[in-house]
């Protein structure tokens, strides 16, 4: 990748991760992810957010510093908006190559820095609204806790209107030669739309209330450019990604899309046998349905679809008096990420005793779900179960449509 000028004295430095690793050791990134750092140069120079020692990212950063004629040793400040290792993992290697650099972070960020990296050096702790004068360039820091860690802040350059937002307003997806929103095609915009949703659902969803608070807090700033640590830089219309994140956050409170996500686990095909009938019932009301199978489909994609869907269909057989374990695992993630306020239908077969429904109710009682009558049956589904499956699918679709 090459460095990119954003404004006078402000540059993006980027590295793409394309080695097949999982993001956070959990989420697949088949199209990679970018790690964006930024330089702000006045009389003094600040590097905003770092990279992990991951897939040659440090060398990419060093090469791009050379492109803009900045020596690593000349950097005076490194601003750490967020201490997660994808933004800080190379900090020890970075400090070994620099002289007298001052780390800038929030009060909680300082504690994490010292705990995570045993750092004993100088830290400039900045409170909400504090400024750092670089000489001809000023940076202002705003705390946005729990987006998505408690120490998180953003950095704002008032003169240019550039908001360095770190994980906020980010997306999966490696960057090509085009890094700005006004450079990429409509097809690529659709890609980043989908990948920003999956990124949000995977990484940020459980903190949607703080996201809304943060957006409301930042509304008073004259933001002209959104420069996140992952994904494209929004310079033509930053309101698109801001409002997209607001919409994603509101999905948690029930303002979701009028569509249904179906998650099906089936041991011997007995539970899966009624899926077609349910789908026909849903589609008879004109409601889109997205179908996933567990354990075959990754939770990352299931979570993304479920997060934006108003309705859920959960199908699984009874397994030793409990839910089918792969489906139970999905519901544990739904609980962790606050997949709340959904219209839900649950179905499944059993072979010698039930128990999955009781387990389902226990696991989902705090999710604020509105569940219609479940459908369970012994052995193979008969005509009666197939008819009931169609009617319950239709009933759920009507509830989604009217919600």
Map out the domains of the chain as residue ranges: 4-252, 260-402
For the chain, the maximum distance between any two Cα atoms, rounded to a whole number of angstroms, is: 78
| pLDDT of amino acid 99 | 81
Q: Which two tokens stand for residue 208?
A: 């949607």
Q: Which two tokens stand for residue 200?
A: 């949000």
CATH of 260-402 given 3.30.230.10, 3.40.50.360, 3.30.70.1400, 3.20.20.450: 3.40.50.360
If phi > 0 it is left, if psi is from -120 to 50 it is alpha, else beta; for residue 239 that is alpha
What radius of gyration do the chain's Cα atoms show? 24
| pLDDT of amino acid 1 | 79
The Cα-based distances of 309 to 41, 391, 392 in angstroms read 44, 20, 17
| pLDDT of amino acid 243 | 97
The full 3-state SS of 200-238, as one line of letters, equals HHHHHHHHHHHHHHHHHHHCCCCCCEEEECCCCEECCCC
| pLDDT of amino acid 393 | 98
Q: Are strands 22-23 and 27-28 parallel, antiparallel or unpaired?
A: antiparallel
Q: How many CB atoms lie within 10 A of CB 65?
A: 21
Q: Which CATH architecture has domain 4-252?
A: 4-Layer Sandwich (3.60)
Angle formed by the axes of helices 383-402 and 275-283, to 10°?
40
CA–CA dist 74, 249 (Å, integer):
40
The pTM for the full model equals 0.96
Counting as low any pLDDT under 50, the low residues of the chain are none
């Amino acid at each position: 990748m090459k460095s990119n000028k954003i404004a006078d004295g402000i540059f993006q430095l980027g590295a793409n991760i394309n080695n097949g690793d999982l993001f956070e050791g959990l989420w697949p990134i088949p199209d990679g992810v970018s790690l964006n750092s930024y330089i702000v140069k006045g009389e003094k120079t600040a590097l905003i957010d770092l990279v992990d020692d991951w897939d040659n990212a440090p060398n990419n950063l060093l090469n791009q510093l050379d492109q803009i004629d900045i020596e690593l040793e000349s950097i005076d400040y490194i601003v750490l908006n967020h201490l997660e290792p994808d933004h800080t993992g190379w900090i020890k290697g970075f400090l070994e190559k620099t002289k007298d650099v001052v780390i800038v972070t929030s009060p909680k960020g300082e504690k994490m820095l010292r705990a995570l990296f045993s750092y004993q050096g100088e830290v400039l702790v900045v409170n909400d609204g504090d400024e750092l004068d670089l000489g001809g360039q000023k940076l202002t820091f705003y705390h946005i806790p729990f987006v998505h860690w408690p120490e998180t802040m953003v950095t704002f350059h008032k003169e240019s209107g550039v908001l360095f937002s770190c994980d906020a307003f980010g997306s999966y997806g490696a960057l090509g030669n085009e890094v700005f929103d006004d450079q990429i095609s409509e097809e690529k915009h659709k890609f980043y739309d989908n990948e920003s949703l999956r990124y949000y659902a995977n990484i940020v969803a459980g903190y949607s209330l703080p996201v809304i608070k943060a957006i409301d807090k930042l509304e008073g700033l004259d933001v002209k450019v959104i420069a996140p640590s992952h994904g494209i830089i929004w310079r033509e219309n930053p309101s698109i990604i801001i409002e997209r994140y607001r919409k994603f956050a509101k999905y948690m409170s029930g303002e979701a899309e009028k569509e249904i996500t179906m998650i099906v686990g089936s041991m011997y095909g007995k539970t899966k046998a009624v899926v077609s009938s349910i789908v026909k019932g849903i589609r008879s009301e004109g409601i889109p349905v997205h179908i996933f199978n567990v354990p075959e489909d990754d939770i990352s994609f299931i979570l993304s679809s479920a997060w934006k869907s108003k309705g859920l269909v959960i199908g699984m057989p009874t397994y030793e008096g409990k839910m089918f374990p792969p489906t139970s695992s999905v519901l544990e993630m739904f609980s962790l990420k606050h997949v709340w306020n959904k219209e839900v239908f649950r179905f499944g077969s059993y072979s010698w005793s039930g128990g999955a429904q009781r387990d389902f109710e226990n696991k989902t009682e705090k999710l604020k779900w509105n569940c219609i009558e479940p459908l369970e049956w012994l052995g193979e589904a008969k005509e009666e179960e197939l008819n009931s499956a169609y009617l319950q699918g239709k009933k759920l679709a009507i509830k989604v449509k009217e919600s």
